[in-house]
Amino acid sequence: DLPGSEIQIENSVNAVKVFGEAGIKIVRQRFKGDVFPGRSQSYKSIQRGGAVGRGESLGLLKEKSDTPTMEELEVWWSQFQKAYRPIVLTGLENDVKVAMHPSDTPHPDSPFGGIGLNRILDDFPQKNVGFVYCIGTRAEAGGSSLVIDEINHFG
């Protein structure tokens, strides 16, 4: 357990209760470590009509940071389970759905990528657990064929 993690979990649980009392029926909780900083280069991407968006390139960044080891990822997942469980259960008690956004940027082996999305549902089969299915993030992970496959898979 990390220092201060109990307080952060308690704050998240209390937030879910408050959202439920306010009639807000869906929440999303962020988790540090579900993305790998230093694996791609961020830049301003100029789109059609001059619109500015976020760009990310694997090729532009020449010196990349290391990715976590399998052991580090398993420790991270264990900590995620400990933190997410009370949030999910509090959501059930307060009629609040708990949604997860896929890891963005979807670098290989990021926790909330393809296998990780299934793992969330396997570990938390409660009816109030689901996704903020981000077509953009998932398209970055594998293109339109992945998006169509996942829509057919998850519904």
pLDDT grade for 83, boundaries at 50, 70 and 90: very high
- In this predicted model, what pLDDT tens digit does every residue of 91-123 receive, in sequence order? 999 999 999 999 998 888 899 988 899 999 999
pLDDT grade for 155, boundaries at 50, 70 and 90: confident
26 falls within a domain? yes
Residues 6+ apart with CB under 8 A from 51: none
44 falls within a domain? no
- As a whole number of angstroms, the distance between CA 130 and CA 113 comes to 14
141 falls within a domain? yes
Q: Count up the domains in the chain and report the number.
A: 1
> Is the predicted pLDDT of residue 2 greater than 80, yes or no?
no
83 falls within a domain? yes
Domain that holds residue 28: 5-37+67-154
CB hemisphere CA count around 126 (13 angstroms)? 18
Q: What pLDDT sits at residue 59?
A: 85
CB hemisphere CA count around 130 (13 angstroms)? 15
- In this predicted model, what pLDDT tens digit does every residue of 17-70 receive, in sequence order? 999 999 999 999 999 988 888 888 899 999 999 999 988 888 888 888 888 999
Q: What pLDDT sits at residue 78?
A: 96
| Residue at token pair 């306010």 | 22
Q: What pLDDT sits at residue 51?
A: 96
- As a whole number of angstroms, the distance between CA 70 and CA 110 comes to 11
Q: Label residues 35-71 b or e (16+ Cβ within 10 Å = b).
A: bbeebbeeeeeeeeeeeeeeebeeeeeeeeeeeeeee
Residue-wise DSSP of 34-77: SS-TTSSEEEEEE-GGG-EEEEEETTT-SSPPPPPPHHHHHHHH
Q: What pLDDT sits at residue 5?
A: 87
Q: What pLDDT sits at residue 3?
A: 84
Percent share of the chain, pLDDT over 70: 99
| Residue at token pair 């993690």 | 5
Q: What pLDDT sits at residue 103?
A: 92
> Is the predicted pLDDT of residue 11 greater than 90, yes or no?
yes
79 falls within a domain? yes
107 falls within a domain? yes
Q: Give the domain CATH number at 111.
A: 3.20.20.150
58 falls within a domain? no
62 falls within a domain? no
